[in-house]
Amino acid sequence: MSNIESLLNGFAGALTLTNLMFGLLGTILGTLVGVLPGIGPALAIALLLPITYTVSPASALIMFAAIYYGAMYGGSTTSILLNTPGESGSVITALEGHQMAKRGRAGSALATAAIGSFVAGTIATGILAFSAPSLAGWAIAVTAADYFALMLIAFATVGTLLGSSMIRGLAALGVGLTLGLVGSDLQSGAVRLTFGNVQAIDGIETVTVIVSLFALGEALYIAGRAKNTGWSIIPMKGRALMTRQDLKRSWRPWLRGTAIGFPLGVIPAGGSEIPTFLSYAAEKKLSKHKEEFGKGAIEGVAGPEAANNANAAGALVPLLALGLPTTATAAVVLVAFQSYNIQPGPLLFVTNPDIVWTLIASLFIGNTLLLLLNLPFVRVWAQLLKIPRPYLFSGITCFALMGAYVANNAIFDLWIALGVGIIGFAFRRFGVPITPLIIGVILGPMAELQMRRAMQIGAGEISALYATSLSKLLYLVLFLVIIGPLVWNFKKKLANKK
Amino acid sequence: MNTKSIKGELAFAGSLLILGVIVVFDTTNMLVPPASGTVGPQVFPYLVSGFLILVSMGIIVQVLRGNLGQPEGTEFGDTIEKTDFKTLLVVAGSMATYPLLIERAGFIVATTVVFFGVSFAFGAKNIVKNLMISVIFSAIVYFSFTRGLNVNLPSGILGGL
């Protein structure tokens, strides 16, 4: 069956009334969590994971896909109107977008962000639909040793590229890997790091870790470290519409942003900061209105927003084709797949083609719903920011605790959640990024499995880990990934000394 | 102030180091089942603990050289220099009531207590209004999840509802 045929089947599977309802619910929830500070798409999906016990896989995945894209729309709204990026990918948008809003051009900024996200999301999902299956076909030949090397690269990039300090990112990764060790070893049955606790034998629930790191950690951090000040919303005049001039200045940045964002999502480059920043830099360089940059240039909103969305779609390629999540949200989507006993990876397109194609189709549908839902109602979304801070945080806290409990209906998980919440506070306090921990918890056990498989095949010889040509190539890349930033930092230090 | 923040950083990096050492101990004392294959259950933990110990020592060196961590910014404007432990403890304490109450008293009671405590700590000083909002929030969440999405939540002492 050709890709187009499969995709059409996917649409047929996705376009039922029930699924559309879940898609609509997802777009609303996604935009909601994107607009509200303190919660992001990873947390929203993690909280909704319990519905995977009662809802069909297609409906749940459609809802999660809509949340995934919706949160990015919501994030751009807050960064433009409030200068508080709801998630890391919107930081760059705030630079120009908020300046535009201050000059009374909030409508244009919101429109170029929304339409740009739609254009980029649609193109990127299209590329995803045609590239993921062929990548998966090729990935069947990938051996355990290659997988292990790939995971090491993911560890290295996520650990070193996020946050301000490389070594602190690696520390976060180490803590994540340690949490991933807890429980019984699946291959030998040996029990690790349980300290005699029977409930710990099943290991630490990933969802618990994600939910408490983000929500409880954030609540504790804001309680302990933030000034008790409100925020000032810039009132929006007029509607979210673009003029012909705006469109003329936006369409090229949209396409360039897509071209930058998608490939950087496919390779594990550590989230959306880098592509959005690169797109911003490119637009600044290419713009005919350089003098407007820093004062509200529309190109500076259009490009990074497109890059952000294309990047999110790109991150689904390694998730679906290799089973490798590279962002926190992709990691939660992986957990969702697993709770349906579906293992993403090369075989996914063979064993569960209907689910994958439904998911891809629902990305298209979710994206369209978002455009229809957000442009006319952007003012309604902005109203959400009037929720008083105390109630916002108590709501987030309660949802997070609930999410930690319902995963297994176990009080033990709640104590773990509180412990991880305190880790989340300490990480924020000492400038340690959070995503490497999540990647460590999820990928750690997978990396161990692949390593042991590879060595078992090689009769215990270490050389089995770099026996294939692909693994040799990957170790070369890994070497460059680690050495590159070191040289870069060294050069910067030299320059600073002069 | 600077020496104090260095102490905090060192305590943080030190606890990472201790965590690494704990993993080493646990792995050394692990009961390894006889048929564990070529690569047993101890190899990976040793690698992880070694990595963690190396990295935490690296942080300690960096901190001693004056390279402190950058506290993360918030979406609420400026952060304060000194941690407000009073608010922090009230929030953490409210969270800690949840595991104690969720099965004994049920979802609605537990959620009401946490909601009330956290919003009180965050500055909702109108107690009556806060309490009302807490109860309404808990009830709405309880019924929309149990009735709407068929997710099971403990009913506890309000089981008759």
In tens, the pLDDT along A101-110 reads 888 888 888 8
Establish, for the pair of chains A and B, how many residue pairs have beta carbons separated by less than 8 Å.
254
Judged by CB atoms closer than 8 Å, whether chains meet at B151 and A185 is answered as no
Give the separation between CA A178 and CA A422, rounded to whole angstroms. Answer: 16
Please tell me which of A136-150, A252-266, B126-140 the model is most confident about, judged by mean pLDDT: B126-140
| A272-293 mean pLDDT | 85
pLDDT for residue A172 is more than 70: yes
Residue whose C-alpha is closest to residue B74's, from A300, A385, A228: A228
- Give the model's confidence band at B148: pLDDT under 50 very low, under 70 low, under 90 confident, else very high: confident
Judged by CB atoms closer than 8 Å, whether chains meet at A398 and B111 is answered as yes
A131 sits in which H/E element: helix A106-139
From chain A, the residues in CB contact with B44 under 8 A are: 181, 447-448, 451-452
How far A55 CA sits from the closest chain B CA (Å)?
A: 8
Q: Is A183 helix (H, G, I), strand (E, B) or coil?
A: strand
From chain B, the residues in CB contact with A455 under 8 A are: 38-39
Note the pLDDT of residue B22.
95
Note the pLDDT of residue A234.
67
Q: Where are the domains of chain A?
A: 3-497
- CA nearest to A461 within chain B: B38
| A381-386 mean pLDDT | 76
- Give the model's confidence band at B1: pLDDT under 50 very low, under 70 low, under 90 confident, else very high: very low
Judged by CB atoms closer than 8 Å, whether chains meet at B121 and A223 is answered as yes
How far A5 CA sits from the closest chain B CA (Å)?
A: 33
Judged by CB atoms closer than 8 Å, whether chains meet at B137 and A398 is answered as yes
Judged by CB atoms closer than 8 Å, whether chains meet at A459 and B38 is answered as yes
First to last CA, chain B: 55
- CA nearest to A423 within chain B: B12
Q: What digits encode the pLDDT tens for the residues A13-44?
A: 778 888 888 888 888 888 888 887 767 778 78
The letter for the amino acid at A260 is I
pLDDT for residue A456 is more than 90: no
> A392: Cβ–Cβ under 8 A, 6 or more apart, which residues?
A36, A37, A38
How far A50 CA sits from the closest chain B CA (Å)?
A: 7
Q: What digits encode the pLDDT tens for the residues A470-495?
A: 889 889 988 887 777 667 767 766 77
Q: What digits encode the pLDDT tens for the residues A195-242?
A: 888 888 888 988 889 888 888 998 899 888 876 655 566 666 666 678
- Give the model's confidence band at B91: pLDDT under 50 very low, under 70 low, under 90 confident, else very high: very high
From chain A, the residues in CB contact with B43 under 8 A are: 451-452
Residue whose C-alpha is closest to residue A47's, from A30, A35, A31, A70: A30
From chain B, the residues in CB contact with A216 under 8 A are: 95
Judged by CB atoms closer than 8 Å, whether chains meet at A177 and B133 is answered as no
Mean pLDDT of chain A: 84
pLDDT for residue B44 is more than 80: yes
Give the separation between CA A225 and CA A424, rounded to whole angstroms. Answer: 13
Give the separation between CA A482 and CA A275, rounded to whole angstroms. Answer: 19
Predicted model pTM: 0.86
Residue whose C-alpha is closest to residue A415's, from A425, A427, A426, A404: A404
Residue whose C-alpha is closest to residue A115's, from A241, A232, A274: A241
How far B124 CA sits from the closest chain A CA (Å)?
A: 6
pLDDT for residue B3 is more than 70: no
pLDDT for residue B16 is more than 80: yes
| B76-95 mean pLDDT | 82
How far A199 CA sits from the closest chain B CA (Å)?
A: 15
ipTM of the assembly?
A: 0.92
Judged by CB atoms closer than 8 Å, whether chains meet at A190 and B84 is answered as no
Tokens of A5: 């045929």
From chain B, the residues in CB contact with A415 under 8 A are: 99
Q: In chain A, pLDDT over 70 holds for what percent of residues?
A: 92
Alpha helix positions (H), A384-466: 389-406, 411-429, 435-457
DSSP A328-377: HHHHHHHHHHHHTT---STTHHHH-HHHHHHHHHHHHHHHHHHHHHHHHH
Alpha helix positions (H), chain B: 2-28, 43-64, 85-101, 107-121, 127-143
